[in-house]
Amino acid sequence: MSELVLVINAGSSSIKFSLFETSAADPIVLFKGQMEGLYVEPKFSAKDAADNKVANETLPSDAPKNHDYALRYMLNWLESRIEGRSIAVIGHRVVHGGTTYSKPELVTPEVIAGLEALIPLAPLHEPHNITPIRVLEELLPNVPQVTCFDTAFHTTQPELNQLFALPYEFSQKEGIRRYGFHGLSYEYIASVLPEIDTRAAEGRTVVAHLGNGSSMAALLGGRCQLTTMGFTALDGLPMGTRCGRIDAGVVLHLMNHLKMDAKQIETLLYKESGLLGLSGFSSDMRDLENSDSPRAKLAVEYFASSVVREAASLAAAIGGMDALVFTAGIGENDANTRKAVCHQLRWLGVELDEAANAVRSSEPRRISLADSKIAVYVIPTNEELMIARQALACIA
């Protein structure tokens, strides 16, 4: 009977999970779901391997609403459905590995201390990544846990592409540098590219991870050379509620002239900007594309234009582009955004197959014409599978 891999992706108000079995060459998902609305009104939902909903529950009103109780609830639910099989390893998505962690790590007291030391670099994410490790250490003390880092894939960037033009010691002593995020997604794309397009896998590929959080990366032979996110997940492309690239002087202006404090600025840049801020009513691309509002149109055009600008910049950094890959929520599902980006990149040699682009599919597919100088693909990402692979490899 096969062993199981549990994958945990914890945020400030939600915990996502996936349970994989290991009987095949690659882990196969059994269940996936989440606990959302933590600290307000927690709700638990889950689906099976066929994407059928098998749980949709609101927690009792008198139950604790924290991460600890949510994990216990989820684990009890899973254990009632795994027929006596055992969990062999637990893999955790950890947002920040700093300069210390460039590969998955087996959890030890020293690793937990290392993660806690990185909290200043990701105060909104790292504490919530650490909490499940501690809780599951208590609930499943004999099950090894593995940390899988969103920054690790980007450690192959040349130093030149990791630096800011600040005094050099800020990078060396304070860790103020361009880290990049969404690395687990990019690593998954790099792992499947050889099966889809050998030229893209071995050559120059720009990957656009477009969703509520968006970034792009330039890969050379499957290794990251440059990415749009930097010191934090605010940089680069505009996102659902995050501003993306911004003149640092704007932040000084907000402080000095509008008298906003750090917390107000943080809320503005992380939660009130991006598509929501530009449109004035929604962070969801589907809402914006279905709206007649001029500001919604402005937000949509701004987003696509930013993707185009970053794509050209990334291509310049790796000496050209053999392939462009769209992935994540918007990248996989929004034909309009893909069309707008590809049409604006025609000068680079992108020729979109509009019929192929309009097809909805959960499978990887080419959406450029056969004679397009740059091959364009839609490849669904799978960060959870990447974590399961890394966790298994780590304990092996």
pLDDT digits (tens, 9 = 90+) for 45-82: 999 999 999 999 988 888 888 888 999 999 999 988 88
Residues 205 and 89 in one domain: no
- Per-residue pLDDT of 213-259, as tens digits, reads 999 999 999 999 999 999 999 999 999 999 999 999 999 999 999 99
The predicted model gives 353-374 an average pLDDT of 96
Residues 201 and 143 in one domain: no
Mean pLDDT rounded to a whole number for the chain: 94
pLDDT at residue 311 tops 90? yes
pLDDT at residue 123 tops 70? yes
Does some domain include residue 78? yes
Sheet of 53-58, strands arranged across: 53-58, 43-48, 28-36, 14-21, 4-10, 87-94, 145-149, 105-106
What is the SS3 string spanning 280-320?
Answer: CCCCCHHHHHCCCCHHHHHHHHHHHHHHHHHHHHHHHHCCC
Report the CATH number that the domain containing residue 358 is assigned in CATH: 3.30.420.40
pLDDT at residue 362 tops 80? yes
Does some domain include residue 71? yes
Does some domain include residue 362? yes
Per-residue confidence (pLDDT) for residue 269, from 0 to 100: 96
- Per-residue pLDDT of 133-148, as tens digits, reads 999 999 999 999 999 9
Q: Which residue has the higher pLDDT, 66 or 260?
A: 260
Residues 118 and 243 in one domain: no
The pLDDT-based confidence of 124 (bands split at 50, 70, 90) is: confident
Residues 250 and 116 in one domain: no
Does some domain include residue 102? yes
Rounded Cα distance between 293 and 289, Å, is 9
Residues 363 and 251 in one domain: yes
Domain-ending residue, one of 122, 149, 176 = 149
Residues 130 and 256 in one domain: no
The overall pTM is greater than 0.85: yes
Does some domain include residue 207? yes
**In contact, 24 and 388? CB cutoff 8 Å:** no
pLDDT at residue 396 tops 90? no
Residues 268 and 362 in one domain: yes
- Domain extent, residue 258, equals 196-383
The torsion angles phi and psi of 195, rounded to 5 degrees, stand at -80, -20
Residues 11 and 132 in one domain: yes
DSSP letters of 343-378?
HHTGGGT--B-HHHHH---SS-EE-B-TT-SSEEEE
Per-residue confidence (pLDDT) for residue 2, from 0 to 100: 67
Q: Which of 76-85, 184-193, 355-364 has the lowest mean pLDDT?
A: 76-85
Does some domain include residue 156? no
Does some domain include residue 28? yes
Per-residue confidence (pLDDT) for residue 13, from 0 to 100: 83
Per-residue confidence (pLDDT) for residue 84, from 0 to 100: 77
Q: Is 371 a catalytic residue?
A: no
Residues 349 and 213 in one domain: yes
Domain-ending residue, one of 87, 114, 149 = 149
With a pLDDT cut of 70, the percent of the chain lying above it is: 99
Which is catalytic among the residues 26, 48, 150, 247? 150
- Picking from 77, 6, 4, the residue whose alpha carbon sits closest to that of residue 42 is 77
pLDDT at residue 1 tops 80? no
Residues 114 and 202 in one domain: no
The predicted model gives 270-299 an average pLDDT of 96
Map residue 193 onto helix, strand or coil.
helix
Per-residue confidence (pLDDT) for residue 61, from 0 to 100: 85
Residues 142 and 233 in one domain: no
- Picking from 311, 303, 319, 322, the residue whose alpha carbon sits closest to that of residue 345 is 311
DSSP letters of 1-69?
---EEEEEEE-SSEEEEEEEE-SSSS-EEEEEEEEESTTT--EEEEEETT--EEEEEEPPTTS--SHHH
Rounded Cα distance between 226 and 229, Å, is 9
End-to-end Cα spacing for the chain = 18
The torsion angles phi and psi of 216, rounded to 5 degrees, stand at -140, 155
Domain-ending residue, one of 149, 182, 216 = 149
* Cβ neighbour number for residue 125 with a 10 Å cutoff: 22
Domain count, the chain: 2
Does some domain include residue 157? no
**In contact, 240 and 275? CB cutoff 8 Å:** yes
Token pair recorded at residue 215:
């970034």
- Per-residue pLDDT of 11-51, as tens digits, reads 888 899 999 998 878 899 999 999 998 888 889 999 999 99
